[in-house]
Amino acid sequence: MSFEIIAATEKDCGEILRFINELAEYEKMSDEVVATEELLREWIFEKQKAEVIFAVEDGRKVGFALYFHNFSTFLGRAGIYLEDLYVMPEFRGKGYGKALLKELARIALNRGCGRLEWACLDWNKPSIDFYLSLGAKPMDIWTTYRLTGETLVKMAE
Amino acid sequence: MSFEIIAATEKDCGEILRFINELAEYEKMSDEVVATEELLREWIFEKQKAEVIFAVEDGRKVGFALYFHNFSTFLGRAGIYLEDLYVMPEFRGKGYGKALLKELARIALNRGCGRLEWACLDWNKPSIDFYLSLGAKPMDIWTTYRLTGETLVKMAE
């Protein structure tokens, strides 16, 4: 059995969308997904607003991580923010999630970034336990606020 | 009295650092600030990992917003993430914070972004009340996890 991590290219948008939908289903948020292959092609590969790596077992893509650069004003430098991390259920427990995270930690250090961050749903105890075991620190004194759709349009007026 | 919003340029790094330090003091996190003018020049203006706008009253910079692009896999497109929003205490209550947020909402819509997001400390009730009054939705089922320093290096090994 072989395992490797590879960077996604423009021809992978269908696979990326499949993983996004599978993760949304696990998160019980499928009704929020409006992404399409076309949008992913435009925003990831043309406008370069995110990057994607795949976990590949014996030539088959079994998981992915989508990430982008965030920025810490305290550190005065960029970080890496992991937006989605997903491994197909039948391939879990083999270390692929951790391998994807390790690769992101390497990318962060290679680029001189100061942090690797991501968000986790508060009910997702298996993932939280996994993250804590890696030494990740919960930033639980902060809450994220969001304007979207009508409230965003109203704010711009 | 005149008021305008302008984009920061490379010569503004000293002013940006001053605002970062003043905001950190308000957040009781001054000991976490290791940013320098040099780092800000490198990461904001050379590597272009963030952007900054100023609130300017009668030619004087009285507040700032530092932001970058994040990415929503559900929307399939980028958003705007506001990392720091700050108005000097003696210039508060004049609508400058809201003016900075409105400008970011306009930038988000102009660029085709789907969201405007930011984090707020849970004890900062005046800010939370302000954000809720704008229609912002707290994403309080999520917690951010962070690897930094030694835990990030260990993860990369």
Out of A26, A81, A96, A131, pick the active-site residue.
A131
Residue B20 has a pLDDT of 98
Are A151 and B115 in contact by the 8 Å Cβ rule? The answer is no
Which residue in the set A134, A136, A148 is minimally distant from B114, CB to CB?
A148
Mean residue pLDDT of chain A comes to 97
C-alpha B81 chain-centroid distance: 7
Over residues A107-136, the mean pLDDT reads 96
Interface probe with B: pick from A15, A19, A143, A153, most Cβ of B within 10 Å: A143
Annotation marks residue B131 as catalytic = yes
Residue A108 has a pLDDT of 98
Nearest CA in chain A to B37: A76
Q: Do B147 and A66 touch (CB under 8 A)?
A: no
**Nearest alpha-carbon partner for B119 in A76, A140, A142:** A142
B125 phi/psi in degrees, rounded to 5: -60, -40
The contacts of residue B46 (CB under 8 Å, 6+ apart) are none
Interface of B with A in 81-120 (CB under 8 A): 81, 83-84, 101-102, 105-106, 108-109, 114-120
State the DSSP H helix or E strand holding residue B115, giving kind and residue range, or none if neither.
strand B115-121
Residue B7 has a pLDDT of 98
Q: Provide the 3-class DSSP secondary structure of residue A89.
A: helix
Q: Do A143 and B119 touch (CB under 8 A)?
A: yes
ipTM of the complex: 0.96
Residue B9 has a pLDDT of 98
Residue A143 has a pLDDT of 97
**Nearest alpha-carbon partner for B82 in B59, B109, B100, B61:** B100
What is the CATH code for B3-156?
Answer: 3.40.630.30
pLDDT tens-digit series, residues A38-82? 999 999 999 999 999 999 999 999 999 999 999 999 999 999 999
C-alpha B119 chain-centroid distance: 9
Nearest CA in chain A to B29: A74
Measured torsion, CA atoms of residues B5, B11, B14, B18, in degrees rounded to the nearest 10: 10
A88 phi/psi in degrees, rounded to 5: -55, 140
Interface of B with A in 31-90 (CB under 8 A): 32-36, 39-40, 42-44, 47, 49-50, 66, 68-78, 81, 83-84
Beta-carbon count within 10 A of A142 CB: 14
Q: Where are the domains of chain A?
A: 3-156
Chain B neighbors of A32, CB-CB under 8 A:
74
Residue A46 has a pLDDT of 98
What is the pLDDT tens value at each position of chain B, 157 positions in all?
A: 899 999 999 999 999 999 999 999 998 999 999 999 999 999 999 999 999 999 999 999 999 999 999 999 999 999 999 999 999 999 999 999 999 999 999 999 999 999 999 999 999 999 999 999 999 999 999 999 999 999 999 999 9
Nearest CA in chain B to A129: B145
Residue B54 has a pLDDT of 98
